[in-house]
Amino acid sequence: IVLLGNPPTTPGGQLEQPEQNIGLSEQIIQKDRGVAPPVKVQVPVKDVTPTGVTIGFAVTVTGCGADPITEGAAVLKHAIHLASVHGDLGGRYDYKMYAIYHPDGDRCAAPLKDLGYELIRRETPVAVKDIEGDFLRQNIEKNGCCGEKELVKLEAYTLVQHPIVVHLDLDVLILKPLDALFDWMLVDQEDLKAEYDTEGVPIMWPEMEKPTKVNAYFTRDYNMVGPERKYK
């Protein structure tokens, strides 16, 4: 069976000429003739990101100390609001706040609901006795401020209703939109058929190769990194 279609014509009835695929040899010939080869168009990342995206922001409460946490939680939420689509800093993404808390933090986590946080009560997701690594199993309970309850932070991965979830400590400030990071995670370069235009995107180490797909970021306090390290 042969399916025949009508050839495309111009408004005047003339047959349209098919587009020619310029190969490498033709590009070389055109270059010799002083004709520039086709330019590969770069697409700004921010122009191809999905619209209407809500980023999840989560904090973790592992217990109640002597100092209240409401002030830090209120300031953090306000900073995120200013850097979002609702603020005046140029952010393009919406946000939703979550407080994931261990049962030991019932009392101090409760006021965060009035600040606009959705409360999520979670037990430690892994029993210490079930941890396979000897060093971690033997030391996690006396590590840091909160021991094995720090593992409650892993519950942020369960907020799958958001394409991106940012987990922050309560002593953090967001001073400007994180849109450049979100853009890079949400856009699939395979769908662009072009290179990312990173003009205006702050790149800390521009000489290093940049990934085309980012699934996670991890940052640490800059002042806690040894000054002798080239990449901090």
- DSSP for 175-209 reads -S--HHHHHHHH--HHHHTS-EE-TTS--S-TTSP
Residue type, 133: G
Measure the CA–CA gap between 98 and 158, rounded to whole angstroms: 12
Nearest to 117 by CA among 61, 37, 41: 61
Q: What is the per-residue pLDDT for 42? A: 64
Q: What is the per-residue pLDDT for 8? A: 40
Measure the CA–CA gap between 25 and 36, rounded to whole angstroms: 13
Judge whether 30 and 38 are in contact, CB under 8 Å.
no
* β-pair partners for 117: 97
Judge whether 56 and 162 are in contact, CB under 8 Å.
yes
Q: What is the per-residue pLDDT for 214? A: 79
Q: Which residues of the chain have pLDDT under 50?
A: 1-11, 13, 15-29
Q: Which two tokens stand for residue 31?
A: 């270059």
Q: What is the per-residue pLDDT for 5? A: 30
Q: What is the per-residue pLDDT for 191? A: 60
Backbone angles phi, psi at 75, to 5 degrees: -65, -40
